Amino acid sequence: MNILVVGGGGREHAIVAAIERSRQDPSIYAVMSKKNPGIAALCEDFLLEKETNVEKVVEYAVSKNIELVVVGPEAPLSVGLADALEAEGISVASPKQKVAQLEFDKAWARNFMRKNNIAGCPIFDVFTDKDAMDAFIDELGNVAIKPAGLTGGKGVKVMGDQLPNLKAAKKYAASLLDMGSVVVEENLVGEEFTLQAFVDGKNLAFMPTVQDHKRAFENDLGPNTGGMGSYNAAGEILPFLTAEDVESSKQIMNDTIKALYKETGQEYKGTLYGQFMITKDGPKVIEFNARFGDPEAMNVLPLLESDYVDVLAAMASGTLDKIDVKFSSKATVCKYAVPAGYPDDPTKDREVTVGDIGDAILFYSSVYEKDGKVYTTGSRAVAVVGVADSIEEAEEIAQNALENISGDLHYRSDIGKSFLIQRRIDHMNKIRGQ
Ligand SMILES: Nc1ncnc2c1ncn2[C@@H]1O[C@H](COP(=O)(O)OP(=O)(O)O)[C@@H](O)[C@H]1O
Ligand SMILES: [Mg+2]
DSSP state letters, 89-152: T-EESS--HHHHHHHH-HHHHHHHHHHTT-TTPPSEEEES-HHHHHHHHHHHSSEEEEESS--T
In this model, does residue 238 exceed pLDDT 90? yes
**Residue 192 beta carbon below 6 angstroms from any ligand 1 atom:** yes
Whether the Cβ atoms of residue 348 and residue 377 lie closer than 8 Å to each other? yes
Average pLDDT over residues 179-190: 96
Taking only the tens place, the pLDDT of each residue in 379-427 is 999 999 999 999 999 999 999 999 999 999 999 999 999 999 999 999 9
Average pLDDT over residues 167-182: 96
Ligand 1 nearest-atom number relative to CA 275: 18
* Spatial CB neighbours of 59, under 8 Å, sequence gap ≥ 6: none
Whether the Cβ atoms of residue 17 and residue 363 lie closer than 8 Å to each other? yes
Which residues hold their Cβ within 5 A of ligand 2, which is an ion? 275, 287
In this model, does residue 169 exceed pLDDT 80? yes
Rounded to whole angstroms, the Cα distance separating 237 from 233 reads 7
pLDDT category at 154 given cuts 50, 70, 90 is confident
**What CATH code would you report for 2-96?**
3.40.50.20
pLDDT given at position 76: 98
Question: What sign does the dihedral 44-49-54-56 (CA atoms) show?
Answer: negative
Q: CATH 3.40.50.20 residue ranges in the chain?
A: 2-96
**Residue 275 beta carbon below 6 angstroms from any ligand 1 atom:** yes
Ligand 1 nearest-atom number relative to CA 187: 3
**Residue 158 beta carbon below 6 angstroms from any ligand 1 atom:** yes
The CATH class, in words, for 123-186 is alpha beta
In this model, does residue 434 exceed pLDDT 80? no
- Residue 291 Cα, ligand 2 centroid: separation in angstroms? 11
pTM: 0.97
- Residue 155 Cα, ligand 2 centroid: separation in angstroms? 10
- Residue 413 Cα, ligand 2 centroid: separation in angstroms? 23
**Residue 220 beta carbon below 6 angstroms from any ligand 1 atom:** no
Residue whose CB lies within 8 A of the most ligand 1 atoms, among 140, 150, 156, for a mutation test:
156
**Residue 183 beta carbon below 6 angstroms from any ligand 1 atom:** no
Rounded to whole angstroms, the Cα distance separating 225 from 202 reads 33
- Residue 364 Cα, ligand 2 centroid: separation in angstroms? 22
Nearest to 187 by CA among 157, 217, 167: 157
Q: Percent of the chain scored above 70 by pLDDT? A: 100
Average pLDDT over residues 226-230: 97
106-115 helix and 97-104 helix, angle to the nearest 10 degrees: 100
Q: CATH 3.30.1490.20 residue ranges in the chain?
A: 123-186
Average pLDDT over residues 114-135: 98
**Residue 290 beta carbon below 6 angstroms from any ligand 1 atom:** no
Whether the Cβ atoms of residue 204 and residue 246 lie closer than 8 Å to each other? no
pLDDT category at 151 given cuts 50, 70, 90 is confident
Rounded to whole angstroms, the Cα distance separating 297 from 12 reads 8
Q: Whose CA is nearest to atom 27 of ligand 1?
A: 192
The CATH class, in words, for 191-421 is alpha beta
Q: CATH 3.30.470.20 residue ranges in the chain?
A: 191-421
Whether the Cβ atoms of residue 176 and residue 106 lie closer than 8 Å to each other? no
Kindly report the average pLDDT of the chain as a whole number.
97
